[in-house]
Amino acid sequence: MECADAHIHIADCVNWRLPPDTVVCSSAHSWEEFQLVEAAAQEHPGRVMATIGIHPQNPDATLYPVLEELARQERIQAVGEAGFDLFTPELAAGLPQQLEVWHLQLELAKKYQLPLVVHCRKAMDKVFMYTKELKALPAVVFHAYPGSPQEARNLLRHGLNAYFSFGKELIRGRRNSIQCVESLPLERLLAETDAPYQTLHHQAATPPEDIELVYGEFAKICGVGEVGLKAQLLSNFFSLFHSGAKEG
C-alpha cells in the first residue's frame, strides 16, 4: 500500500533512496541542497515534492532571490520550512531576523499561490498573529506540529487550509501530539519521518524506511486499520500538492 512521508531532508540522508511505495515532500535550505532534492524529483516523477525555505534557525535573507526564482520557474511545490524557533535563548535572540525572512516567504507563497511548510517551536503565538495572511494561501503544513488540539482547531476555525504533520514524537509518547491525532479530523493529518532527524533514543539517524513505524503508531492511536490510514493520509498529501502531483 502506497504511503506518504510529508517531511524529509533528502540532502541530509546518507545514501538516500526512496522507499518502495512511498511519496515524499523534501525540504531544502540552500541551493546545493535543492539541487539534490530536484535531482531526486526528476528521478522519481510525481513521487518527490520539492520545497525550499529559509529556516528560522539560520534566517539568512540572502537566500531569498533563489527562492523567488525557483517559484517563478515553477520548480518547487511549496515554500519552506519557514517559521519561528524560540527554543533556546540563542535562537530567540534572532527573532528580528526570523521575522524578516518569515515575511518574505509568506509574501512569496501568497504571490505564487504555493503551500507553506511551517517550522514552529515555542512560538505558536507568533503564528496566530498571521492567520489572515495564512488563510490566503492554498494550504499550510505544520511540520512536527507543536501545538495543542485546541490551537489546531482554532487555526481551522480561522479559515486556514491547514494540515498537521506528526512523526516519531508519537512513538516517544508526546502527549500533545497523541491528543491531536486522537481528536483532529483524519483528513487534516499527515505522517512524517523528518529523516534523518527525529530519532528514537537508540538511533543515530532516522532512515526514511521508518515511515512504516510512524504509520504503525499512528494507526494504533487513531484506532483505524493501517491500510485505511495510509489511503487517507496519501489522499491528504495529494490534496495538499494539488497541481498534478499524482501524474507521472
Report the 10 Å Cβ neighbour count for 86: 18
Residue 5 and residue 234: Cα distance in Å, rounded? 9
Ramachandran sector of residue 48 (left: φ over 0; alpha: ψ -120 to 50; beta: rest): beta
| pTM tops 0.75 | yes
Helices (H), 26-122: 31-43, 64-72, 89-92, 95-112
pLDDT tens, position by position, 85-139: 999 999 999 999 999 999 999 999 999 999 999 999 999 999 999 999 999 999 9
Residue 14 and residue 36: Cα distance in Å, rounded? 12
Q: Say what the pLDDT of residue 1 is.
A: 72
N-terminal to C-terminal alpha carbon distance within the chain: 18
Q: At what angle do helices 149-157 and 175-183 cross, to 10 degrees?
A: 50
pLDDT at 242 exceeding the cut of 90: no
> By the 8 A CB rule, do 124 and 151 touch?
yes
Whole-number mean pLDDT of the chain?
95
Q: Say what the pLDDT of residue 49 is.
A: 97
Q: How confident is the model at residue 83 (pLDDT cuts 50, 70, 90)?
A: very high
Q: How confident is the model at residue 243 (pLDDT cuts 50, 70, 90)?
A: very low
When computed from its CA atoms, the radius of gyration of the chain, rounded to whole angstroms, is 17
DSSP state of 216: H
pLDDT at 64 exceeding the cut of 90: yes
> By the 8 A CB rule, do 123 and 83 touch?
yes
Ramachandran sector of residue 74 (left: φ over 0; alpha: ψ -120 to 50; beta: rest): left
Report the share of the chain in percent with pLDDT over 70.
Answer: 98
Q: Say what the pLDDT of residue 130 is.
A: 98
Q: How confident is the model at residue 198 (pLDDT cuts 50, 70, 90)?
A: very high
pLDDT at 179 exceeding the cut of 60: yes
Sorted by sequence, the CB contacts under 8 Å of residue 92 that are 6+ apart come out as 86
DSSP 131-200: HHHHHTSS-EEETT--S-HHHHHHHHHTT--EEEEE-TTTTTT-HHHHHHHHHS-GGGEEE---TTSS--
Residue 101 and residue 111: Cα distance in Å, rounded? 15
For residue 137, what is its C-alpha cell? 494561501
Report the 10 Å Cβ neighbour count for 20: 7
